[in-house]
Chain A
Amino acid sequence: MRQNLARLLQIEGVSISLALIVVVALLGLLNPAFLSADNLSAIIVQSMFILIIAVGMTFVLTAGAIDLSVGSVLGLSGGVTMLCFTFGLGTLPAVLAGLAVGALCGLINGLLITVLRLSDFIVTLATMGVAAGLLQIMAFYRPLRGGETEAFTWLAYGSVLGLSFPILLGLVMVVVMALVMHRTVFGRQVRAVGMSREAATFAGIDADRVRLAVFVMSGLFAAVAGVLLASRLASVQPALGRGYELQAIAAAVLGGTSLAGGRGSVVGAAVAALLLAAISAGLQIVGVDPTWYQVVLGISILLAVAFHKWSDRFVDRNILQPKLEGSPGGTSQPGPSQPDAAASITPTPRLLSTE
């Protein structure tokens, strides 16, 4: 029984999917209108923006880093795209400009972090301010609305084979990036770098190149979400994207990605983004004040991290050979971040089993 439970907990995204099912069922019981196709599809579309940046965030976190700038980069990219439209540019150049700005932000983050060896936390905190500031300045001098093309509006409102385009795009990104994470050399390198940068380097991995790549990815994904959101809103406000980084981190962590690096679940992050959107919409639909969302967000991050700690220990205790049990963490109990590092050394069996 314990072993079966431990095996179940190992599977990517199981616990978060259970949580999603429970929450959706609960909300459906409280108000059957919640389960209507229209409502569900609206919630899914609503979750796509956080979902897309959460996928990028998953790679950054898995590589053992963090990117606090994604919300601002999302806003800036959307703003640049809208700015291009106000100058009468076509769909392709405008969208490409937005995406390029996002990738550039990621590149700058990555270069500062890998070349100058600066702390990822503080660099992305600073670029968060810079990107948010640039959007404010842009929006101050030129209202970011008007001039968008039909093709651009289609990005958020169009559908392919009956499936809304944002949902399709999110689905494709999740499937592709989940495969990249678990079935490619790059994905394995990202996880290796996140587990131990030194060990990865000794194994011949260019850790800096990997970390640079995840930051560029994160910037680019933020830009994709930003362009999509600009299309959805048909205008860009100066504060667009503020606080999105928090939700993206929450989604990644809820989905089973370790903040200590080395383990990430793209599918889990995607399911968690859906869960957050369901909770946000659900609060309103069952008549709870939507201001509770922030409280729920804060508590769920703490509970998720605590749950993962417990589940890791549970899995280790019930699946790993007795020989390994107690060897890490037991003898040394150093600072808050250390047990994570220690725990991430042992679970090689888990790593292999997810392959």
Chain B
Amino acid sequence: MIRNSLLSSARTLFSRPGAGIALFLIVVSLVMSMVSPVFLTWMNWSNMLNQASLLILLAMGMTIVLIGGGIDLSVGAIAALSGGVVAFLIATLGTPLWLALIAGILVGLALGLLNGVIITVMQIPDFVTTLAMMALIRGVLFVWTQGVPMINYSDKTYMLLGGLTRLPLRLTVPEFITAAILCIGLLIMTYARVASHLKATGENPDVARLSGVNVAAIKIGTYAVSGLLAGIAGVLMAGKLGTVQPNMASGVEVQALAAAIIGGAALTGGRGSLLGAALGAITLVVIQNVINLLGVPPVFETFVIGMVILVVIILERLSAMASAGPRLA
């Protein structure tokens, strides 16, 4: 009896999105603070938050798309092209910074819309469309830049915006932007009707349509949001790096996907949490940080992130099997 109630309370605890990751983060922090004196300093955490802020933006976009039953593999390429547009406008055309930023973000939004339209109108599967768009957008960037990094566009304001220059307490502007977007996202996902339409679309598009949800509009909307957030992340990244390499942010879509899934999003649609995605992104950054602090060569990073995704999805499945087991018996 006691064991059962313990199990069920543990189950309810872990069924809350983000609870498992929060626990993981606490355990890792405790262990690491004993291993490395640097880990638990504000210096280290402020660096990690700075790193995580852009990934959180992408992970939130990915989560929205996943809840709607899709997947967006083009976010890394979109971010890079948005950053490239800003760099080009400032360095070559002398566009004022604010205008260039808006243009860059709009490019992201437009590409996201294009993804959504191709998927819903031409009925091409989500991941094929975004995989093809990933290759296409990245190709455009390479053709456009001829593989040469874009430089000479940054100034003091842009460095501040991109998080290269720190505010007091070692905080950075992207952290505030990400926090603001996260708050808006959480409010929408909690209170707005469009949130339940989104979940319904992801869970069962047929039922959603029959219930009067405009499924196509929701689908296009999810990709637009993802493109918009990728655009914002891309222009911030361009400010942070001070140079736009044509392969900037390549592979970041896998990290965003990993963060969303660690945060409780399901590839089958209908499920996902913005807060979980943010925690998932922080988890990935913490893992990279731990690898660094332990003196493990950085070549282990790809392997470890792959293993983390595997372990998370296996654990999630096993716990789902365990909780489904008694009911079936």
- A-to-B contact residues, CB < 8 Å: 66, 112, 116-119, 121-123, 125-134, 136-137, 139-140, 238, 246, 249, 253, 259-260, 289, 291-299, 301-302, 305-306, 309, 332, 334-340
Contact = CB atoms under 8 A, between A and B. Distances in A.
A292 B317 contact: no
A260 B125 CA distance: 9
A207 to B, nearest CB: 18
A301 B131 CA distance: 9
A129 B305 contact: yes
11 contacts: A129-B305, A129-B309, A130-B310, A140-B299, A289-B143, A291-B142, A298-B139, A305-B124, A306-B122, A309-B122, A334-B209
A139 to B, nearest CB: 8
A260 B71 CA distance: 16
B302 A136 contact: yes
Interface string B128-148: 110111111111101100110
From A121, A132, A133, A306, name the one whose CB has the most chain B CB atoms within 10 angstroms. A133
Given A127-B306, A137-B303, 6 more contacts: A119-B313, A121-B267, A127-B310, A129-B254, A130-B306, A335-B215
B322 interface: no
A289 B139 CA distance: 11
B60 to A, nearest CB: 19
A301 B142 contact: no
Contacts of B128: 249, 253, 259, 301-302, 305
A309 B119 CA distance: 13
Interface of B: 69, 71, 118-120, 122-129, 131-140, 142-143, 146-147, 205-206, 209, 215, 219, 254, 257, 261, 267-268, 297, 299-307, 309-310, 313-314, 317-318
A289 B261 CA distance: 38
Nearest to A295: B139
B207 to A, nearest CB: 9
Nearest to A125: B254
A18 to B, nearest CB: 22
B313 A118 contact: yes
A289 B123 contact: no
Nearest to B302: A133
Contacts of A334: 205-206, 209
Given A291-B147, A295-B143, A136 B306 contact: no
Contacts, number: 152
Contact of A337 (B125, B133, B209, B215): B125
Nearest to A108: B310
B313 A291 contact: no
B257 A125 contact: yes
Given A298-B136, A336-B119, A137 B309 contact: no
Contacts of A337: 125
B220 to A, nearest CB: 12
Contacts of B301: 133
B276 to A, nearest CB: 16
B317 to A, nearest CB: 5
B302 A129 contact: yes
Contacts of A299: 132, 136
A334 B305 CA distance: 36
B131 A125 contact: no
A40 B315 CA distance: 50
A121 B143 contact: no
A123 B267 CA distance: 11
A128 B219 CA distance: 28
Contacts of A119: 267-268, 313
B120 to A, nearest CB: 7
Given A122-B267, A301-B132, A129 B303 contact: yes
A246 B205 CA distance: 28
B234 to A, nearest CB: 18
Contacts of B140: 295
Contacts of B268: 119
Contact of A117 (B129, B131, B305, B317): B317
Contacts of A260: 125
A339 B119 CA distance: 13
A118 B131 contact: no
Contacts of B300: 133, 137
A246 B138 CA distance: 13
A292 B314 contact: no
Given A295-B136, A338-B205, A116 B125 contact: no
Nearest to A336: B123
A136 B299 contact: yes
Considering the complex of A and B, which 5 residue pairs feature the smallest CB-CB distances, nearest first?
A: A133-B303, A129-B306, A294-B139, A298-B136, A335-B205
B137 to A, nearest CB: 8
Contact of B303 (A117, A136, A295, A297): A136
A122 B309 contact: yes
A296 B143 CA distance: 11
A116 B317 contact: yes
Contact of A332 (B142, B146, B147, B206): B206
A332 B215 CA distance: 14
A195 to B, nearest CB: 16
Contacts of B124: 302, 305-306, 309, 336
B147 A126 contact: no
Contacts of B297: 137, 140
B313 A122 contact: yes
A34 B200 CA distance: 54
Given A130-B303, A298-B135, A301-B131, A336 B126 contact: yes
Nearest to B246: A291
A337 B268 CA distance: 12
B118 A302 contact: yes
A224 B158 CA distance: 50
Contacts of B254: 125, 129
